[in-house]
Amino acid sequence: MPTRPRPALSALFMGFVTIGLSSFGGGLTAWVRREVVQRRGWLDDQQFLSGYALSQLVPGATNVNLAVFIGTQLRGVPGALACFAGLTFPPTIIACTLGAIYFGMHGMPGGESLSIALGGMGAVAIGLNLGTGIRLARRGIRKIVPALIAATVAVSVGIAGLPLIPVLGVMIPVSLLAAWWASRAA
Amino acid sequence: MTTLWQIFWLFALLSMVAFGGGAGVIPDMQRGAVETYRWMTAKEFLDLFAISRSAPGPGSMIAVLIGQKAAGLAGAAVAFVAMFMPSCLVVHFVAKGWDRAARKPWRAVVEQALAPIGIGMTFASGLALAQGTEHEYVSYAVTATATLVFAFTSINPILLLAAGGAVMLLAGV
């Protein structure tokens, strides 16, 4: 097993401050992978993906879970707190400030253009998610069975709109069986 | 004080059933905030949702805004704790158990098995978001372009986001 890096708590905190502040419109996973795998090399893709899948299985906001998971893995309780605080505190302050402005003055002028621009940013944010999927698939999927498993999950949840939990309830055992089979054959 | 308890229980319960991320419980938040407790109108809820989507950070920030509307800053703080603490404790213990299994052969198998699942879910979240927001041709084009540019170049995503906003303003959608 490769030795895992032990980043400073301040680096974890700042890394997740960056993630929290640069993610708009729900493309957060793309930013977590970019910061944690691509730029800082704290985890490799497989560690990141297993953490991501586990974070989805535990209830709660996936990316907050992922931050706690990564922090715990790298530095235990203090690491979890550093990642959690970094990810959530600055956006909370911003949200409360925006909320206070909104509650203070209903119907701001220029609000229409703002919401159009925000719609465009949201459309890009969705593209960031999909682009991350392409990047991960190009590196991580080498065989036909895992490709079929990934495609089944993507289509049944993302297009057919099936609820995530039953889909995972079927596909995780299937994937475990396939991985176990492959490891025996190897 | 009762309002703070109501905020706490609403979000603590939703936090524990928010499987697959926070987006799935938004309708339940709306029911609680608008119908059950009457903290706001349906229109105000939609506005708060838009604000939370436009602000950076996790999508669940809407919980904080609901708490703020219901009971000021104390309400925001209570909503924050209720929304994030229960699930964070669970995930912390899952991560520790995961760590103890570092040298077990089954963990490598589980990691290999979860990788394609995670990739599938990454695509699924993007596809579901595209269907969920009212997407027009221009926004589909923006999404598709951003997908390809982000997948095959190393451009800073902030630039892409800014470009997306600018394109929509110019298109006047």
**pLDDT tops 90 at residue A89:** yes
A49 within 8 A of B115, measured Cβ to Cβ: yes
How far A113 CA lies from chain B's nearest CA (Å)?
7
State yes or no: pLDDT of A122 exceeds 80. Answer: no
CB distance A49–B118 less than 8 Å?
yes
Q: Specify the DSSP class assigned to residue B155.
A: -
B2 inside domain: yes
Nearest CA in chain A to B88: A65
Name the DSSP class of B20: T
Cα gap B142→B173, rounded to integer Å: 12
Amino acid A60: pLDDT: 84
Structure tokens at A113: 């253009």
Alpha carbon distances (Å) from A154 to A28, A81, A99, A164, A178? 18, 32, 35, 10, 18
Best mutation target among A22, A44, A130, A155 (most B Cβ atoms within 10 Å) is A130
pLDDT band, very low/low/confident/very high, at B133 (cuts 50, 70, 90) = low
Averaged pLDDT for residues A3-30 = 84
For A98, which of B55, B60, B120 is closest by C-beta distance?
B55
Q: Cβ of A109: how many Cβ atoms within 10 Å? A: 8
B62 inside domain: yes
Percent of chain A scoring above 90 in pLDDT = 44
- Tell me what pLDDT residue A80 has: 96
pLDDT score, position A36: 94
Determine the Cα–Cα distance for residues A60 and A41; give it in Å rounded to an integer.
26
What mean pLDDT is predicted for residues A4-9?
A: 87
- Decide if B87 is inside a domain: yes
Mutation site for A-interface testing, chosen from B54, B90, B91 by largest number of A Cβ within 10 Å: B91
Q: Chain A within 8 Å of B137 (Cβ-Cβ)?
A: no
Instruction: Spell out which residues of chain A touch residue B90, defining contact as CB-CB under 8 Å.
Output: 58-60
Most confident of A169-173, B3-7, B108-112: B3-7
CA neighbor of A114 nearest in space, from B60, B51, B146: B51
Q: Are B110 and A140 in contact (CB under 8 A)?
A: no
Domain contains B76: yes
Q: Output the pLDDT for position A105.
A: 59
- Rounded to 5 degrees, what are φ and ψ at A152? -60, -45
pLDDT at B33: 93
Q: What is the pLDDT of residue A25?
A: 53
E-strand ranges in chain B read none
Q: Which residue of A has its CA nearest to B97?
A: A73
B49/A contact by beta carbon, under 8 A: no
Residue of A nearest to B172 (CA): A116
Please give the tally of structural domains in chain B: 1
pLDDT at A1: 42
Tokens 């560690």 sit on residue: A47
Q: What is the pLDDT of residue A106?
A: 55
Structural domain contains residue B154: no
Segment B154-158 mean pLDDT? 80
| pLDDT on residue A54 | 86
Q: Which domain holds residue B15?
A: 1-100
List pLDDT tens digits, range B11-58: 998 888 776 666 667 777 888 999 899 999 887 887 787 777 767 888
Is the distance from CB of A84 to CB of B84 less than 8 angstroms?
A: yes
Residues 6 or more apart whose Cβ sits within 8 Å of residue B143: A123, A124, A126, A127, A130, B130, B135
Q: B61-65 — which CB contacts under 8 Å span 24+ positions?
A: B61/A91, B61/A92, B61/A95, B62/B26, B62/B29, B63/B11, B63/B14, B63/B22, B63/B29, B64/A92, B64/A95, B64/A96, B64/A99, B65/A95, B65/A96, B65/A99
User: What pLDDT is attached to residue A24?
Assistant: 65
Q: How many inter-chain contacts (A to B, CB under 8 Å) are there?
A: 379
State the ipTM, two decimals: 0.76
pLDDT band at B134 (very low <50, low <70, confident <90, very high): low
- pLDDT for res A27: 64
| Higher pLDDT pick, A184 / B28 | A184
The beta-carbon neighbor of B65 closest among A53, A99, A178 is A99
Task: Answer yes or no: is B37 within a domain.
Answer: yes
Question: How high is the mean pLDDT of chain B?
Answer: 85
In a domain, B63, yes or no: yes
Q: Cβ contact (<8 Å) for A164 and B20?
A: yes
B125:A29 CB<8 A: yes
Measured between beta carbons, the chain B residues lying within 8 angstroms of A117 are: 165-166, 168-169
Interface test with B, best of A88, A124, A157 (most B CBs within 10 A): A124
Reference B67, options B53, B78, B82; nearest CA is: B78
Partner residue opposite B164 with nearest CB, options A92, A120, A133: A120
> Which candidate, B142, B144, B26, B125, places its Cα nearest to that of A118?
B142
Q: Which of A46, A43, A39 is nearest to A73 (CA)?
A: A43
Cα torsion B18, A16, A36, B99: sign: negative
Residue B141: inside a domain, yes or no? no
